[in-house]
Structure 1
Amino acid sequence: MQTKESLLIKNVTIVPMTKDQEMIEHGYILIKDGLIQEVGSERPAALTADQVIDGTNRVAIPGLINGHTHTPMSLLRGYRDDLPLMDWLQEMWVIEGKMTADDVYWASMLSMIEMIESGTTTFSDMYFGLDEIAQAVDQAGLRALLCEAIMETAGNGEERLQATIAFVEKWKQVGHSRITPLLSPHAPYTCSPNMIEKIVQEAERLDCAIHTHLAETRQEMTIIANEYQESPITLMEKTGLFSRPVIAAHGVYLSDQDIAILQQHQAGLIYNPKSNMKLASGIAPIAHLLEQGVRVGIGTDGSASNNALDMIEEMRFASLLQKVANEDATALSAYQTLALGTSQGARALGIDQITGTIETGKQADITLIDFDQPHLSPKNNIISHIIYSVKSTDITHTIVDGQVLLNNRQLMTIDKEKVIWHINEIKERLLS
């Protein structure tokens, strides 16, 4: 195995997001073989590395974690906007049925440019064309959890289940350090309980997690109540879904019983505030979920319903929406919100043993923010500034597994002009 270059970040303010460590001023981070080897203040004079980043006027945070998205949907950004969710989905499914494997690859690369430039280091993706998305992840250098949304109502549920099983088996055998394969029933209204039970059995056999949509809209609640006399959460508990680690996107409509189920089974609930607002789906009760001990992360959803993959902006919306929904200015504080985008987001995805904090032994997934900006001055409260004032253009470095993907705002692993050229070609063919 090829040894990775060592990396030293010096003269930097560090927000480690660990339980027992405060912010570190004039700090340093030493990275070797993709892992954080040392974190401290006042760098020893003798400390060197193959690559050195001067972090003067920079703030280092754990790399941002996008807990739920659909990366190839960047190709459909702005397409059929301002429709209710179910009508919008029907429109999306028609055009997605025309997408080729190459379309999926280039659209994924477009999304990865956006994520890297805005400080995201990990994302959890649900789409189709997984081999092409995995190829893009491998090239771009990001960390990803990947699954195909199985929709039995499309008429090919069994075929898609077998295909995604093959994908999981393949990538588990490969053992790629940055790609984690999952299984995914799209939602309770597109998969029967029988299909979900099959997926659970396969997830058990393959020892993998499950990513799904749950309790997103009132219409979904009505469909499930009319057909099964249950809520989506209670129905999924009866199918055995929560016997596996679960990443549940949205969770807008939750009863106390639903919340208790999520907490009991330690499911990860991914909050998607901008998409939920744009599609008029509602407001997830995040402040209450946190009080009840539910694991919560933040996601952007796809850029066709957002319309961006900017986790900096998503965190801001996440906090402000909870404040106005609860009529409580203390709801979802800046620190809590940053945790949902980093350490707690990693916990919601079940990857907190490897990423989500800046501490010795963790994978070196780090984002650097340029605080030498008028809108970030004076530095009265750095964490508050990150949530309420920072812009994605303030991100200078994005580092994953010790590899610098964005270096002083320059992409290092992707040819941006080439990707945009391909996207424009695809748009002319697919959407004209």
Structure 2
Amino acid sequence: MADILIKNGYILTMDPDTGDLKKGEVAIENGRIIYVGLSYNGKADKIIDASGSVVMPGLVNTHNHAGMTLLRGYADDLPLAEWLEDYIWPVEEKLGPEEIYAGVRLACLEMIKSGTTTFADMYIHEQAAARAVEDCGMRAALSYGMIDFGDPQRAESSLLKGRNFVKDFNGAANGRISAMYGPHAPHTCSQQFLQDVRKQARKDDVKVHIHVLETEAELNQMKEKYGKCSVNMLHDIGFFDSDVLAAHCIWLSEGDMNILAETGVHVSHDPVSNMKTAAGIAPVPQLLEKGVNVSLSTDGCASNNNLDMFGVMKTAALLHKVNSMDLTVIDARKVLEMATVYGAKALGIEAGMIKEGYYGDLIVVDMKRPHLTPLYDVDSHLVYSARGSDVTTVLVDGKVLMENGKVLCMDEYEIMMEASKAAKKTDSQHLIDVLGLNDPSVDQ
């Protein structure tokens, strides 16, 4: 007997071997999909009726700083250097484990409500992030963000923290949590430190998450320091491999793209964040053409303001159309693949497709909405018309985290209150909530 049977929905499998089903059923048992087809010949403990809805793989957000939900709208529309040095870095020093725990729980709530089932994270106090992920039921690939700035003592301390995090949390939460090494970026980490991280990651058999060529300033700084860009430097020291997830990858040359393709590096594309920080436009169509696995991500709320992957999908499609002046450059199906199949591939998890043996990480999207009517093309509607708020039901590991719009794995009001209290730790006038959400005495 199956644990859960989802029936009467349009099954967007994202599996090229089986194709999509206009009206099908999905059965889940012990956290895994055991049947995908027209009619399940068996019983189930729980039946979910998906009539008028699309059943699809949960979205995979491959680059996030989840604790940054506490900094949503904190310092917008400022020059990048001022934003980082005068606002973000100083306020992060005031955030401890409990604040990060509250911020990550808020991030998880937001992601669940908008259809994301898995995310990759790199930030501070990542033990608290792991605790939040375990509590809420999501799937995540977490990494402690490491920076040494060429300081040997800081390098030793950072690598030790990273190693301890990998040791303690890789495979935690019954396998829902995987740990990664998270050297911040080539311009904030020394060559020796990057080589040490590379060696340790191979020894521990875990992946590596790093920012690469996010800004033109990084490109120029690397050329001045090493006489080459970040990609070439990382390649020359043997850093790149198929276990590397590189975020942003904006300022790439043709040769850089060839290196990423040849080494099997996975790229995380953050179109909304890149636009908001005026960092530039990543050459995603060219990367895809060269066979690079390009996934999608939101980045943190300080540089995006929300974690809605539906918005990211639409932005990615539109950005590259207008940048190339080619309406066909990235179609809706390709964007859906980037948000599901390619994201799961980047993190090395059996998800991103509705396929027998894969994790029961699924979402149900209600298509009976004014902005989704009439319905000619499901792929097109999901990318260009749907919103995160159209997601009604979310399952991770075969467990229902949200059903019919009601979050079951946490108390929404409590999460928002605790996050608002945590934000006060910054003692910043920028975080005054004019709606009174920081005051638990206000009747919601």
TM-score bracket for the superposition, by shorter chain length:
over 0.9
Q: Over residues 46-97 of structure 1, what are the superposed CA-to-partner deviations in whole Å (9 max), with x where a residue is unaligned?
A: x321111001001011100001000000000011111233332222111001
TM-score when normalising by structure 1: 0.96
Could you list the runs of 5+ residues in structure 1 that have no partner in the other structure?
A: none
Offset of residue 265 of structure 1: 1.1
Tell me the percent identity: 37
Letter matched to residue 29 of structure 2: K
Sort the Cα spacing of 1:419 and 1:161 in 2 relative to 1 into closer, same or farther, 3 A. same
The CA distance in 2 between the partners of 1:176 and 1:205, in whole Å, is 22
Letter matched to residue 325 of structure 2: E
Offset of residue 398 of structure 1: 1.0
Letter matched to residue 14 of structure 1: I
Other-structure match for 1:93: 89
1:74 to 57, 69, 73: 69
Indicate yes or no: 2:353 matched with 1:357. Answer: yes
Letter matched to residue 397 of structure 1: T
> SS where residue 281 of structure 1 aligns?
coil
Other-structure match for 1:51: 46
Indicate yes or no: 2:50 matched with 1:29. Answer: no
Tell me if the contact between 1:106 and 1:422 (Cα under 8 Å) persists in the aligned partners: yes
Other-structure match for 1:269: 267
Other-structure match for 1:328: 326
The CA distance in 2 between the partners of 1:82 and 1:176, in whole Å, is 41
Offset of residue 416 of structure 1: 1.2
Other-structure match for 2:36: 39
The CA distance in 2 between the partners of 1:160 and 1:343, in whole Å, is 32
Letter matched to residue 255 of structure 2: Q
Offset of residue 42 of structure 1: 3.6
Indicate yes or no: 2:115 matched with 1:119. Answer: yes
The CA distance in 1 between the partners of 2:209 and 2:236, in whole Å, is 17
Sort the Cα spacing of 1:413 and 1:154 in 2 relative to 1 into closer, same or farther, 3 A. farther
2:181 to 168, 183, 187: 183
The CA distance in 1 between the partners of 2:35 and 2:176, in whole Å, is 22
Other-structure match for 1:128: 124
Sort the Cα spacing of 1:174 and 1:330 in 2 relative to 1 into closer, same or farther, 3 A. closer
Greater displacement, 80-89 / 179-188: 80-89
Offset of residue 174 of structure 1: 4.9
> SS where residue 70 of structure 2 aligns?
helix
Matches within 5 A, 1:395-406: 395-406=391-402
Kindly tell me the number of residue pairs found equivalent between the two proteins.
Answer: 425
Q: Over residues 160-209 of structure 1, what are the superposed CA-to-partner deviations in whole Å (9 max), with x where a residue is unaligned?
A: 21011011012237583100000011001100111100101111111111
Letter matched to residue 195 of structure 2: E
Matches within 5 A, 1:30-429: 30-44=27-41, 47-90=42-85, 91-153=87-149, 156-172=154-170, 174=172, 176-243=174-241, 245-351=243-349, 354-429=350-425
Offset of residue 154 of structure 1: 8.8
The CA distance in 2 between the partners of 1:5 and 1:170, in whole Å, is 33
Q: Over residues 203-230 of structure 1, what are the superposed CA-to-partner deviations in whole Å (9 max), with x where a residue is unaligned?
A: 1111111000001110010000000011
The CA distance in 1 between the partners of 2:242 and 2:367, in whole Å, is 42
The CA distance in 1 between the partners of 2:45 and 2:212, in whole Å, is 46
The CA distance in 2 between the partners of 1:17 and 1:111, in whole Å, is 26
Letter matched to residue 71 of structure 1: A
Other-structure match for 1:7: 4
Offset of residue 281 of structure 1: 0.3
**Structure 1 moving runs of 4+ over 4 Å:** none
TM-score when normalising by structure 2: 0.93
The CA distance in 1 between the partners of 2:127 and 2:166, in whole Å, is 11
Letter matched to residue 431 of structure 1: D
Offset of residue 374 of structure 1: 1.5
**How well do the aligned residues superpose, as a CA RMSD in angstroms?**
1.5
The CA distance in 1 between the partners of 2:126 and 2:411, in whole Å, is 21
> SS where residue 63 of structure 2 aligns?
strand
> SS where residue 182 of structure 1 aligns?
strand
Offset of residue 43 of structure 1: 4.2
Sort the Cα spacing of 1:217 and 1:140 in 2 relative to 1 into closer, same or farther, 3 A. same
The CA distance in 2 between the partners of 1:429 and 1:212, in whole Å, is 28
